[in-house]
Amino acid sequence: MKIYKFGGASVKDAEGVKNVALVLETQGFEKCLLVVSAMGKTTNALEKVVEYYFKKQDYQKEIELIKNDHIAIAKGLFSENHQVFGEISLFFDDIDSFLRRNKSPNYNFVYDQVVSCGEMISSKILSEYLNEIQFFNHWLDARDYIKTDSNYREGIVNWQETEQNISKLDKINCYVTQGFIGSETNNFTVTLGREGSDYTAAIFAYCLNADEMTIWKDVPGVMTGDPRKFDNVELLSFISYEEAIEMAYYGASVIHPKTLQPLKQKNIPFFVKSFVEPKEPGTKVGNSAENESVESYILKENQTLLNVETRDFSFIAEDHISLIFTLLAKYKIKVSLMQNSAISLALCLEDKFGTANEFNEELQQSFITQMTKNVSLFTVRNAELDKLEKFYKDKKVLLEQISKKTFQMVTM
C-alpha cells in the first residue's frame, strides 16, 4: 500500500479538496490510505472554543462560526441535499453536547475531545467527495485503530494493540482517515501532539508494511530553510532518516519529530512533495547512503531560556540534573538545547503547555534561576565552521554551541 498525508493547507477550501483528487490522479488511487488534517485553521479555532469554555465565555458562538465555514466548503463540493451536510451538523452537535454535560476540570482531556473533531469533519468531507467523483474509498475512524495511553494531548501509542488493529485492514481497498488522533482504553479521544498527523501516517505505514509514504505540502519538499524566514534556500533531493530526525528535533517544520522512527525501523521510503506541483520529485528520505550534506537553517521561535545555578556554589552534579529533568517531565517541557558549566546549567526550552512559570517556581526551591522568554533557537546543520561570522550579524546572542556538524545559538 501507499500512504498519503494531506495537511490542513491542502484542504483549506473546496478548491483544495478538489485538488487532492487531481493529486491522486497523478499518483494513482489504488491500494492507498489517505490521512487528512483539519481544514485550514480549524484546530486553532477549536482551541479557542476550549479556551472560551473554561473562561465561561460564549463558546457556542465560536462553534457556530466553525460549523458555517465547513458548510460553506461543502456547498462548493456537493449538491444541497447531500447527506454530508447532516453529518457535519452532527459533529458540531456532538461538540456542544459534550461541553454541556462535561464535568471534568482537566483542560487537556476536554481539549482532546473537542479539537479532534476538526479531523473527523475534514476526513468525512474528503471521503464523501472522493466517492462522489468515483474515487471509491472507505472512511475509517482512526480512534478504532490507534490505541494510546491516557496522556491527553501527547498520547503514547500502544504499538502492539495498534498494529493488531491496523493489520486487519484489507490492503486491496482505499481508505480515508484522520491524522492526529487515537483513543485510550475507555475510548476517549487522545491526540498525538500538534502536527501529529504526519505521525499518524507513519503509524499506518508501519503497521501496513507500506511500500512508501508521502506527505503533501505547500512547499516543493524539504528545503535548506523555511522560505518564509530565509532567503536563497534550495530543495534537498535526498536526505537520510538520521538527518531528517536531527532536522525535525531542532525544529524543521516540514517533518514531525516522531514520524521518522517507525519508517526507519522498516526502511519505508518517505517523500515530501508539493500538492501544487504533484509531478515534481520533491524530497526522498531514506537510507544514509543517499544523504545530501548541504548547509541547512532552522529557526525555532517562542522558546524559553532558563539559567540554573546551585545555591551553595557547588558543582551541578548528577543529582541536581536528575531533579531538574524529573521536574521537566512533570511539567511536560521539552529541552531544545542544554549547556552546563561547573556551577550552572543553561536550558533552551519548548513550553507547549504553558507550564514554564510553575516549573520555574518549583525549581527555585532548590536553585537560583533566571528565565528569559520569547527567545529563538537558530540552528545550522552541516555548517561551514570557518564561516560562522555571517550568522552573528544583528543578533543578540545569549548562548551558543558548536559541534562537529551543528552550530546553534539562542538569540533575542
Model pLDDT, residue 54:
97
Residues 6+ apart with CB under 8 A from 249: 257
What's the pLDDT score for residue 325?
96
Distance CA 180, CA 166 (A): 16
CA atoms within 13 A of residue 301's CA, in its CB half-sphere: 3
Last residue of one domain, picked from the residues 217, 239, 259: 217
Asked if residue 204 and residue 71 are part of one domain, the reply reads yes
Same domain, 94 and 199: yes
In this predicted structure, what is the pLDDT of residue 196?
87
Binding site annotation covers 119?
yes
Residue 179 is assigned to a ligand binding site: no
Q: Is 5 annotated as a binding residue?
A: yes
Residues 194 and 319 in one domain: no
Looking at the fold, whether 300 and 213 belong to one and the same domain comes out as no
Q: Do 18 and 127 touch, CB atoms closer than 8 A?
A: no
Residue with cell 492526529: 180
- The answer to whether the beta carbons of residues 222 and 280 sit under 8 Å apart is no
> Is residue 280, in this structure, part of any structural domain at all?
no
Is 228 one of the annotated binding-site residues?
yes
pTM of the model: 0.89
Mean predicted lDDT score pLDDT of the chain: 94
Question: Does some domain include residue 46?
Answer: yes
Cα atoms in the 13 Å half-sphere on the side-chain side of 60? 6
In a shared domain, residues 212 and 304: no
267 in any annotated domain: no
Across the beta sheet with 344-350, what order do the strands follow?
Answer: 334-340, 344-350, 296-310, 367-381, 406-411, 397-402
Q: What is the pLDDT of residues 314-339, one digit of tens each?
A: 899 899 999 999 999 999 999 999 99
* Same domain flag for 182 and 75: yes
Residues 182, 185, 189, 193, Cα dihedral to 10°: -50
Same domain? For 137 and 27 the reply is yes
CA–CA distances in Å: residue 16 to residues 23, 73, 99, 173? 10, 10, 31, 24
Asked whether residue 309 falls in the same domain as residue 212, the answer is: no
Residue 128 lies in a domain: yes
pLDDT of res. 244? 87
- The number of domains in the chain is 2
User: Does the annotation list 7 as a binding residue?
Assistant: yes
In terms of residue numbers, what domain contains 94?
Answer: 2-217
What CATH number is attached to the domain comprising 106? Answer: 3.40.1160.10
Residue type, 187: N
Quick one: 192 and 306 in the same domain? Answer: no
359 is in an annotated binding site: no
Pair (213, 312) in one structural domain:
no
Q: pLDDT tens per residue, the chain (412 residues)?
A: 999 999 999 999 999 999 999 999 999 888 999 999 999 999 999 999 999 999 999 999 999 999 999 999 999 999 999 999 999 999 999 999 999 999 999 999 999 999 999 999 999 999 999 999 999 999 999 999 999 999 999 999 999 999 999 999 999 999 999 999 999 999 999 999 877 899 999 999 999 999 999 999 998 999 999 888 898 899 999 988 888 888 888 888 777 778 999 999 999 999 999 999 999 999 999 886 556 678 899 999 999 999 999 988 889 989 999 999 999 999 999 999 999 998 899 999 999 889 999 999 999 999 999 999 999 999 999 888 888 888 888 889 999 999 888 999 999 8
Residues 71 and 211 placed together within one structural domain of the fold = yes
End-of-domain residue from the set 177, 201, 217: 217
Give the pLDDT score at 26: 94
Cell of 50: 476550549
The answer to whether 191 is a known ligand-binding residue is no
The CATH number of the domain holding residue 362 is 3.30.2130.10
pLDDT of residue 294: 84
pLDDT at 5: 97
Is 10 part of any domain?
Answer: yes
Is 84 within the bounds of a domain?
yes
Q: How far apart are CA 334 and CA 347, in angstroms?
A: 10
Within-domain flag for 79: yes
Is residue 403 in some structural domain?
yes
Rounded CA-CA distance 268/151 in Å is 28
3-class secondary structure for the chain? CEEEEECHHHHCCHHHHHHHHHHHHHHCCCCEEEEECCCCCHHHHHHHHHHHHHCCCCHHHHHHHHHHHHHHHHHCCCCCCCCHHHHHHHHHHHHHHHHHHCCCCCHHHHHHHHHCHHHHHHHHHHHHHHHHCCCCCEECCHHHCCEECCCCCCCCECHHHHHHHHCCCCCCCCEEEECCEEECCCCCEEECCCCCHHHHHHHHHHHCCCCEEEEEECCCCCECCCCCCCCCCCECCEEEHHHHHHHHHHCCCCCCCCCHHHHHHCCCCEEEEECCCCCCCCEEEECHHHCCCCCEEEEEEEEEEEEEEECCCCCCCHHHHHHHHHHHHHCCCEEEEEEECCCEEEEEEECCCCCHHHHHHHHCCCEEEEEEEEEEEEEEECCCHHHHHHHHCCCCEEEEEECCCEEEEEEC
Residues 303 and 205 in one domain: no
Q: What is the pLDDT of residue 32?
A: 96
Could you give the maximum distance between any two Cα atoms of the chain, in Å? Answer: 74
Cell of 367: 536553585
Domain final position from 162, 193, 217? 217
